[in-house]
Amino acid sequence: MKKAAIQLGISLLLFAGIWFALSRIDFVGDTTTETIGRETERRIGDLLLKQLEMKYQKADNDSLLAVIDMIHRRICEANGLDPDSISVHVFDSSTINAAVLPGRNVIIFTGLLKYADNAAEFAGVHAHELGHIAENHVMERMINEFGTTILLMMSGMDAGSEILANILRILTTTAFSREQEREADLKAIEYLESAGIDPVHLGNFLLRISTMESGRRVPEWVSTHPDTRTRAAEIFEAGEGMDGGFEPLYDGDWEALFE
């Protein structure tokens, strides 16, 4: 009994020390040491990716992966982003969803790729997810929603896969705020126009996904990216003021990539 009490006391002291240390880190501000915040974020992202890899198989369709990489690089390079600083992970799943995890990780499910009518629609979704990264929305959410859980996870004690799985579930199935969605949409429009891709395709995707046949299960992407109909209208309005002259994105057969 005495030994157990001592061990508990040591654990509490360790936890309190880590709590204090992590409380000094400003995850979303500019005043903290950049390397400390980035390293912590990377570690969280790695832990969550391992959870995903235990649940889903990574896509091994080389032709599809090459097209996704081409689109990713085109958007990044046109906007002064380092494409290699952002990791794109494609998982085989019928789930119609895409998400962003800490550590600059974009998660794409093949269900969303198949739902897109063409490469430009996927490019619109991808640009939107890149917008969430640019605006640091993921870490803002984690600090606001999972502060204590993050501390447990980063403490070095065994927080268990159940906590990680719960964080992953919330990040991939619950909504960003309306303001965060608007900021990511604005970034997406900017990114797409700079890359020579018509943003109207993102509007088309949003509009179509918001009017799915009644009785069908609502795609997960809707639950994490709400107000799709309103957002589609705003994107169409923004596109009306553009000069056009958009360059072809992919001249192959999009649907054939999934055969």
- pLDDT score at 218: 57
Q: How confident is the model at residue 172 (pLDDT cuts 50, 70, 90)?
A: confident
User: Which of 46-55, 130-139, 174-183, 226-235 comes out lowest in average pLDDT?
Assistant: 226-235
Q: What are the φ/ψ torsions at residue 88 (nearest 5 degrees)? A: -110, 125
- Domain span at residue 59 reads 18-244
72 in any annotated domain: yes
What is the predicted pLDDT for the residue at 26?
44
Q: In this structure, what token pair is assigned to residue 82?
A: 């380092």
Point out the least confidently predicted range of 49-58, 71-80, 139-148, 239-248.
Answer: 139-148
9 part of a folded domain? no
**SS3 state at 136:** coil
Q: Which residues of 104-131 are buried (b: 16+ CB within 10 A; e: fewer)?
A: bbbbbbbbbbebbeebbbbbbbbbbbbb
State the pLDDT at residue 226.
61
Quote the pLDDT of residue 147.
67
Of 25 and 207, the structure prediction assigns the larger pLDDT to 207
Instruction: For 96-129, write each residue's pLDDT tens digit.
Output: 999 999 999 999 999 999 999 999 999 999 999 9
Predicted pLDDT of residue 212: 67
pLDDT given at position 187:
96
CB 236 within 8 A of CB 200: yes
Does some domain include residue 183? yes
Query: Is residue 138 pLDDT above 50, yes or no?
Result: yes
The whole-angstrom separation of Cα 75 and Cα 37 is 26
pLDDT of residue 164: 77
Cα 254 to Cα 122: distance, rounded to the nearest angstrom: 10
Answer yes or no: is pLDDT of 219 > 50: yes
- Total domain count for the chain? 1
- Give residue 78's identity as a one-letter amino acid code: A
The pLDDT > 70 percentage for the chain reads: 73
The reply to whether 187 falls in a domain is yes
Highest mean pLDDT out of 42-46, 136-140, 192-196:
192-196
**Assigned domain for 5 exists:** no
CB 257 within 8 A of CB 63: yes
Among all chains, which residue has been given the structure tokens 């005495």?
A: 2
Distances (CA, A) of 206 to 124, 162, 167: 10, 33, 26
